[in-house]
Amino acid sequence: MPKIIYITSTGTEHAVDADSGSSAMQTAVQHRIPGIDGDCGGVAACGTCHVWVDQNWLDKIGPARPGIEQEMLALTDGATPFSRLACQIELDDSHDGLVLRMPTDQH
Amino acid sequence: MDIAINDAERARTMPLEDFDVSDVSLYQREALHPYFERLRKEAPVHYCKASLYGPYWSITKFHDIVAIDTNHKQFSSDHTNGSFVLDDTTLNAVEGGISMPNFLGMDQPVHDVHRMAVSPIVAPANLLRFENLIRSRTKDLFDSLPIGETFNWVDQVSIPLTTMMLATLLDFPFADRAKLTRWSDVVTTRPGYGLVDTWEQRTAELMECLGYFQNLWDERQKLPPKADLISMLAHSPAMQGMTPTDFLGMLVLLIVGGNDTTRSSMSGSAMAAHLFPDEFAKAKADPSLLASIVPEVIRWQTPISHMRRTAIEDVEFRGQQIKKGDKVVMWYLSGNRDEEVIDRPQDFIVDRPRARHHLSFGFGIHRCLGNRLAELQIKVLWEEMLKRYSRIEVVGEPLRVPSNLIHGYVEMQVRLHA
């Protein structure tokens, strides 16, 4: 059960235990973490689970993937090379301690 | 009602090959759902051989719609391949229609450039700026409405609120704002549906729209940049090469997208309150339910019935052979009633779990740009309704928009109860 740390735009930290095999979006929604919407249900089609990943973690999990994830992020407010869609990050024990920063609002 | 019984019976017995869910008369009497229900069960990817708009495929199940909507490589929105609405005459120069290209009808990469030119208007900072204005307008309007008397909710509530919002987004001369409503309606119609008598009349009105906005563009270009859509376009480096045709295309997208849609969700709000009085009472007792009420009413109404794509290569989809050039219609109205994804989909449920999981804004790169602004407008509308009224009663049968695209109302007589 990896521990995932979600940080809101105002700096509040929410540390939760995730189930291996679920995504970082599903985990946030299950734990009712404010700042992740996940409107499309996890297929990278709405861009409402945008998160920023720190450099050291980005090296491990990799940047946004070509295709729909990159296409959606290209249209997302405040997206940077550190941006991912949380629904595309599938969690397992290797993600223990992963830090995800969230924008003020998901668009 | 006889009509409803007849449609339920017809939908059950009619051969599938005779189904044409684009038939506007079905929308005028809100008789679609039994037909869609049968298609979802028996022919979720259905080919209609002949219609007013030619042959087309219907996609009716939630997950299939998401699959098409996010497959931009095989299912194009681009105006050079077809259109993003079933009726080619709406935006293309066919029959009597005129060409009005815009980014909803463009594939990547051009799409992104055009969309990004206007997307800052609905950025979080602007939404914060708009909330107070929306609140004060909504309050003033509700303060002026009679209690216990019958009036047309569409004319008195839905149209004024959405037209004021659109006038603000465009910084459009406020006294002339009724023109926006008219142009919005003219874009999505054809002659013979009560709005225009001939194609020439439609073209003339759209040219008047273009001329009016060309003056605004010229004015704004000479002034320093401001946070309104016309100023943003006039100062956007990427938009300097816009032809009059491109400009009109962009305008009609902003006008229809920013007006007709939320108008229909506001009218649908009154209808939902009327048909589900217990849910309205539940909401009144617990305003924290607004977080689910807002997406729920947008799902339940589904203000845009469909979006269309054009296959740009042969595709096998769910066992059906879709050919290059075929029109593929994603019926959001049906997907939002898909019982495999949405529990009790015909009901308006104010505390629906995962209410945000609906199709009304579309998915993929063409997802509704103004969705957060629309939600804000609907949220304020409901907050003010719930504060004031115990019940909203719809009196008699409403008049619906004769369209398979705009799912809304022309007239809805209501009575408010204190």
Q: What is the pLDDT of residues B74-124, one digit of tens each?
A: 999 999 999 999 999 999 999 999 999 999 999 999 999 999 999 989 988
How many angstroms from the chain centroid is the CA of residue A75?
A: 16
Q: How confident is the model at residue A64 (pLDDT cuts 50, 70, 90)?
A: very high
Cis check: omega of the bond before B345, within 30 degrees of 0: no
pLDDT digits (tens, 9 = 90+) for B230-240: 999 999 999 99
Mean of the pLDDT values across residues B264-268? 98
How many residues are listed for chain A in this entry? 107
Q: Tell me which DSSP letter residue A7 carries.
A: E
Is the pLDDT assigned to residue A28 strictly greater than 90?
yes
In 3-state terms, chain B is what percent helix, strand and coil (to 5)?
Answer: 50, 10, 35
Tell me, what's the ipTM? 0.90
CA distance to partner chain B, nearest, from residue A33 (Å): 14
Structure tokens at A31: 């734990």
Residue type, B414: V
Q: How confident is the model at residue B126 (pLDDT cuts 50, 70, 90)?
A: confident
Question: What's the half-sphere exposure (Cβ side, CA atoms, 13 Å) at B335?
Answer: 31
Mean of the pLDDT values across residues A89-103? 96
Residue B400 sits in a domain whose CATH number is: 1.10.630.10
Q: What domain range includes position B86?
A: 2-417
Closest C-alpha to B317, from B47, B28, B10, B30: B47
Give percent of chain B above pLDDT 70: 99
**Strand positions, DSSP E, B2-104:** 45-48, 56-59, 75-76
- In this complex, is the C-beta atom of B99 within 8 Å of any C-beta atom belonging to chain A? no
Instruction: Decide if A39 and B357 are in contact by the 8 Å CB cutoff.
Output: yes
Q: Which residues of chain B does A105 touch, with a Cβ-Cβ cutoff of 8 Å?
A: 124, 127, 372
Q: Tell me which DSSP letter residue B174 carries.
A: G
Mean of the pLDDT values across residues B206-225? 97
**Region of A75 on the Ramachandran plot (φ > 0 left; ψ -120 to 50 alpha; else beta):** alpha
Closest C-alpha to B20, from B56, B44, B61, B60: B56
pLDDT digits (tens, 9 = 90+) for B361-398: 999 999 999 999 999 999 999 999 999 999 999 999 99
Cβ atoms within 10 Å, residue B93: 13
Instruction: For residue A39, give the nearest of B69, B356, B365 by CB distance.
Output: B356
Helix ranges (DSSP H) in B286-362: 290-301, 332-335
Q: Considering all CA atoms of chain B, what is the largest pairwise distance in Å, rounded to the nearest integer?
A: 64
Is the pLDDT assigned to residue A57 strictly greater than 60?
yes
Mean of the pLDDT values across residues B188-197? 95
pLDDT digits (tens, 9 = 90+) for A4-17: 999 999 999 999 99
| Contact predicate B44/B59, CB 8 Å | yes
Instruction: Decide if B108 and A71 are in contact by the 8 Å CB cutoff.
Output: yes
Mean of the pLDDT values across residues B325-352? 98
**Number of domain units in chain B:** 1
- The residue to which tokens 């009196």 are assigned: B395
CA distance to partner chain A, nearest, from residue B254 (Å): 17
Phi and psi, residue B358, nearest 5°: -140, 170
Instruction: Decide if A46 and B72 are in contact by the 8 Å CB cutoff.
Output: no
CA distance A38 to B357: 8
Is the pLDDT assigned to residue B212 strictly greater than 50?
yes
- Sorted by sequence, the CB contacts under 8 Å of residue B203 that are 6+ apart come out as B96, B98
CA distance B418 to B377: 22
Mean of the pLDDT values across residues B354-361? 96
CA distance B271 to B328: 30
| Contact predicate B188/B24, CB 8 Å | no
Structure tokens at B370: 């103004």
Q: Tell me which DSSP letter residue B304 carries.
A: B
Is the pLDDT assigned to residue A50 strictly greater than 90?
yes
pLDDT in the model for residue B1: 44
- In this complex, is the C-beta atom of B124 within 8 Å of any C-beta atom belonging to chain A? yes
Structure tokens at B221: 């270009």
When scoring A40, A49, A72, A106 by the number of chain B Cβ atoms within 10 A, the one with the most, hence best to mutate, is: A40
Cβ atoms within 10 Å, residue B264: 25
Q: Which residues of chain B does A77 touch, with a Cβ-Cβ cutoff of 8 Å?
A: 119, 123-124
Structure tokens at B365: 């790169």
Give percent of chain B above pLDDT 90: 95
pLDDT digits (tens, 9 = 90+) for B287-316: 899 999 999 999 999 999 999 999 999 999
- In this complex, is the C-beta atom of A1 within 8 Å of any C-beta atom belonging to chain B? no
pLDDT in the model for residue B3: 56
Closest C-alpha to A107, from A82, A81, A76, A78: A76
When scoring B72, B296, B367, B371 by the number of chain A Cβ atoms within 10 A, the one with the most, hence best to mutate, is: B367
CA distance B60 to B66: 10
